A and B are shown apart, each in its own frame.
Chain A
Amino acid sequence: MLYNLVNIELLKIFKKWRSYLGYLGIGVIVAIVQVNLYLHGDSYVNHLTRGLSENFFISGNLLNGYLIAHLILTALFNLFPLSIVLIAGEILAGEATAGTYRLIITRPVSRLQILTSKIIAGAVYTFSILLWMFIVSCIISLFVFGSGELFIFENGISVFAQDDILWRFALSYSHIFLSMMLVFSLSMLFSSFVENAIGPIIAVMSILIVMVIVSQLPFDFTQTIKPYIFTNYMSDWHTFFSYDIDWNLIQKSVLVLGGHSIIFIIATIIIFLRKDILT
């Protein structure tokens, strides 16, 4: 039964044109970056290694698929929440807008099953966005630019051997998936309150932007509350691309992101189960 419900929810998601905006945005931006690096990649690498090549002989393919995949992931990471919110914001409110709420809850399935199917469908959509990102940024880049060691220019330079890269991407994408599920669950919670999808989309994006700005402000107060702002933990996937992975940081980050997601989902379940649906 749940399988059918999930399929129906996925059908609803992928029937809407706005569901493809995320894929389109990622595809276009990645293509622009790849074409630019294909044409002017050498000057980009020269800029990155400026200073290093003055003192060192360097050999090897620096501009490779892994470097580009990491570069794109870092640049487009902030785009993911927008594509998730567009779908999650109307996952419940959309039913109200379309007037299908009463129709779906009069079927012989529980409200919990309906909500569970929506959460699973949302997770599948989130996963598909990240998978798309990995395919276009990493796999296509590997085909076009070839393979090689991964350079990370952060707190100095870290170079990772080819057989030491994919697991880092896998864990990073897993961490990002958890972050995006938090965005999804928050959007779904807001979506359960209202009957129009625009509200949750704007509200969640506003919350995310405000949280990011507040945590960047260099004041004592903002630094004090920084550990309680969940957006701070979303970029912790960067630590997988270091030689000394701070597993305590990852553990804390997973607990914070996962914990918030669970709280938002439980809150959504409570609201949805008790919701007096009149439309």
Chain B
Amino acid sequence: MKKSILSFLIFFSIINFAQKNNADKLISRIKDKINKVDNYSSEVEISVKMDFLKMPKSKAEVFFKKPDKFKLHSEKFAILPRAGIDFNPQKILDNDFTSELIGDTLIDNKKLSVIKITPNVDSIKFKSAKLVIDPTEFLIVKIILSTEQNANITTNFLYSDQKEFALPSEIKIILDFSQIEEDEKNPKRGKTIPSNFKGAITINYSNYKVNQGIDDSIFIDEKEEENDNSKNKK
């Protein structure tokens, strides 16, 4: 009896180790792809459908530079969720976490791997994340993220001509803040913005310019720049 239990535990450990190993391998390959991108700019078309925010489709330009500089630029009004659009999978993948291959799923008749990521340190701001990964092209197809405040953010990725850099042609972000726990003593949102909301934002990317160099000045906020100038004058 003891032997059989011991055999089962050894077998389970081997399986578990193998799954973790597979998950780490997949993540490592994805990281390699993402690491190829030092900077990029792209034109985006943003479509927002949210409970509390109604707006027409808007166009903007986005700029990204390693490690985490992100800028949304538009003459007209444009809005993008912070959780998602400046999505740099490295933000998740560079953290101290435990990954586990938890199975496969079929999307558009394609067999995809599902990896569960659990942070190992408290400083990370999400509770858990599930990555749905294309194991043949090493692309993230979906991320399901649960934050500490019980917000759920599902991000779906479509790819076309920038698969080499794992840059999507379309991102659809589904935000579910309906279960969010707000600090009642220190409410952060204004009265016009509800604490709990649901919605979806679709971003279509075009005219990618990858690794063509982006000046740091692009990422300086115009207001901050004005403030700096006025301080210098003084």
A residues neighboring B (CB under 8 Å): 42, 47-52, 54-62, 148-149, 151, 153-154, 156-162, 164, 243
Contact = CB atoms under 8 A, between A and B. Distances in A.
A246 to B, nearest CB: 15
A156 B55 CA distance: 11
Interface in B32-88: 51-56, 60, 70, 72-83, 85-86
A55 B56 contact: no
B223 interface: yes
A5 B70 CA distance: 67
Main SS of chain A's interface residues? mixed
B86 to A, nearest CB: 7
Interface of B: 51-56, 60, 70, 72-83, 85-86, 188-190, 192-194, 223
B192 A48 contact: yes
Contacts of B82: 54-57
Contacts of B54: 156-159, 243
Nearest to A55: B82
Given A156-B53, A157-B52, A50 B189 contact: yes
Nearest to B60: A59
Nearest to B193: A51
B53 A157 contact: yes
A156 B191 CA distance: 9
B77 A50 contact: no
Contact of A156 (B52, B56, B188, B223): B52
Given A48-B190, A50-B193, A59 B77 contact: yes
Given A157-B52, A158-B55, A149 B192 contact: no
B83 to A, nearest CB: 7
Given A156-B52, A157-B54, A149 B189 contact: no
Nearest to B74: A59
Nearest to A163: B56
Given A50-B189, A52-B193, A58 B52 contact: no
